Structure 1
Amino acid sequence: MKFLILNGPNLNLLGKREPGIYGTENYEALCRMVEEHASEHGSTADCFQSNHEGAIIDAIQAADGVYDAIVINPGAYTHYSYAIHDALKSVSVPAYEVHISDITSRESFRAVSVTRPACVGQIYGQGLRGYTMAMDYFLEQAEP
């Protein structure tokens, strides 16, 4: 499988931004982790992060016909980006939404996801492991 791992605003600051919530591992460690996990399963994973909504939409649109699955952490766009929702619905590549923290136990606005309905599932509160859990969902679906 070919995975596109998409990360939205501020995820480039992993390890620095509120480590009590998001952990101490940095963004590069996250990318290494998902790339290694993919490789262990005969797959590949490409990481992309942007603080810009349009760049994320462009990456989703460009994924069509190139990737088998998208694992996306839209960051704050989760709560209000109908444009990302629409982009996910517009491509034939299935997506799984991931959040590092438990979005249901934080501020009330964080529990609302407008992008979730465009995804096959959502994982939250599992730390960085949520990314590999989402990848495993797709790997299991691909098994004969």
Structure 2
Amino acid sequence: MKKTNKLPKFSAVIIVTDRNQLALQKRDSKPNIANPGKVTVFAGAADKRERPIDCARREIKEELGLPIKRADLRFLGKWISNSIFWKKKLQGYVYVLNNIDPNNLKLSEGEKIIYIKKNKMELVKLDMPDFSKKVLLKYLEKGD
């Protein structure tokens, strides 16, 4: 059996705005990317030897132009994801970033930012990959 610490890693960030909404990414519809056209949490692959929390910080800076500190992120948990795009299992580290002003988010990857209320009814309406839906539902279960 493959050990989870040997799996390729990625980090994902659940962004909660200062208006108590979830900020999600509507992915580009390009066929050569993971989850084209779907709504996802902000996420990306970790570089070799990069700590998951630093990967999360880098991805938020790259995708949204928002510099954040390690202390800004709250660890939610880690999950194993069966990536259809990468055709292998990946280990995802999920963080929560609270109290973000949407005016400070400048999207550089993806089609647009989607803001939804923090409830399951809003979430299930969206076309999301399993991983994003799973971690968001877990976040909503746990609460802040």
More strand by share: 2
Asked if Structure 1 and Structure 2 have the same fold, meaning a TM-score greater than 0.5 normalized by the shorter chain, the answer is no
TM bucket normalised to smaller: under 0.3
TM-score normalised according to structure 2 size? 0.27
Higher relative contact order (CA 8 A, sep 6+): 2
TM-score normalised according to structure 1 size? 0.27
